[in-house]
Structure formats: C-alpha cells, structure tokens
Amino acid sequence: MKLREVIVVEGKDDTKRINLAVNADTLETRGSAISDETLAQIEELHDKRGVIVFTDPDFSGEKIRKIIQEAVPGVKHAFLNKRDATPDHKGSLGVEHASPEAIREALRNLYTEEPDALPVISQQELLEANLISGPRAKIRRRLLGEYLRIGYVNGKQLYKRLNLFQITPSQFAEALAYVAKYEKE
C-alpha cells in the first residue's frame, strides 16, 4: 500500500511501525509541543500532497490532533483503538505498538473534519442512547468510538466529534447496535 499523503506521527518509533505496514512518508512532531515551524511544514505538505494525522489514542495524541486541525483545517485523520495500540509488555500506549494490519485498517477508515457542516446527530439522540450520562455512558462511548474508528472522547466532546466527522444517522445506528450487542455478551 503506497500513500501519496504524508502521515504525521509523534515520534521515530511510530515512523518505524508505519513503515512496516505501508509505504509512506512521515513527519514527526516530536511530542505535543508542536513548533510553528512544524505547523508550517504540515500546512505546506497538506497543500502539496495531503496530510493524515495519525497520533496515539491518548491525551497527548488528542492534543496534537487538535493543534494541527486548528492550524491546518481539512487534514485527514486516522484513529487506532486503544486495544490496537496496547503493548504486549509494560510501556506506553501508542502507534508504535500497533500491528501492521491495525495500521492499515486505520488508514482505510480516514476521516476529514468538516468544521462548517450542519449537525447530523443531535444532543437529544446522544442522551437517549445513554452516551452522555448514566452508569455505563463511558463504556458505551468507548465502544461507539471503537466501532466508528473516531477515538474515545468524553461526553462533552462526543457531540462535536460525531458531527465534525459527519457520522451519518445510519452509521450512528449501526454503532449503537454494535454497542447493544456487546453489552449483551
């Protein structure tokens, strides 16, 4: 699998793992304190080749994702589920621990944020689906994020994430069916 777009990752170990899965160029942010120079490089690459943000499924990865999205709207996003980014041994959670197949799957399911799009999923639907409050809301959000491959977010951010990525009512319904099936098991 050869990619035209440049994949933005956090560090050199992520680059090594990406290269085991696909043939792609990467740009490393070297942590969550992204310099103006790095943001300028990402913007230039986005204009010339396209950019895929592929960060760890943790707080720092989300921080990097938000910084880049604000500075360079329209970049694509690839998400790993936490279980796919967990090491077999003790260590940090991250892209560097994902299998090549998990990386390829994340890259097949890219999202582009649409900041000016009208909401597709309402707050009321999230409440009715027990995704914002309730004893199992956190687990339900985690399962929903895994199924949709949009990462985990808290209750306040779920509405924004679903609508930024323009998750359709049918995708939302499929994800809720998955959550319900998983809860019965």
Cα–Cα distance measured from residue 151 to residue 144, given in angstroms and rounded to the nearest whole number? 9
Q: Which domain-ending residue is among 58, 87, 112?
A: 112
Residue 52: the pLDDT is 96
Q: What pTM does this model have?
A: 0.73
What pLDDT digit, counting tens, does each position of 143-153 carry? 999 899 888 88
Residue 165: the pLDDT is 80
Specify if 166 maps to a domain: yes
Output the CA–CA distances (angstroms, integers) from residue 26 to 43, 44, 102, in the order listed.
14, 14, 17
Full residue range of the structural domain in which residue 160 is found: 123-184
Specify if 117 maps to a domain: no
DSSP conformation class of 26: E
Specify if 118 maps to a domain: no
**Same domain membership, residue 108 and residue 20:** yes
- Over the chain (185 residues), the average pLDDT of each successive run of 10 is 92 95 95 90 95 93 92 92 78 87 92 72 92 92 90 87 86 94 81
Residue 117: the pLDDT is 66
Residue 155: the pLDDT is 86
- Count of domains in the chain? 2
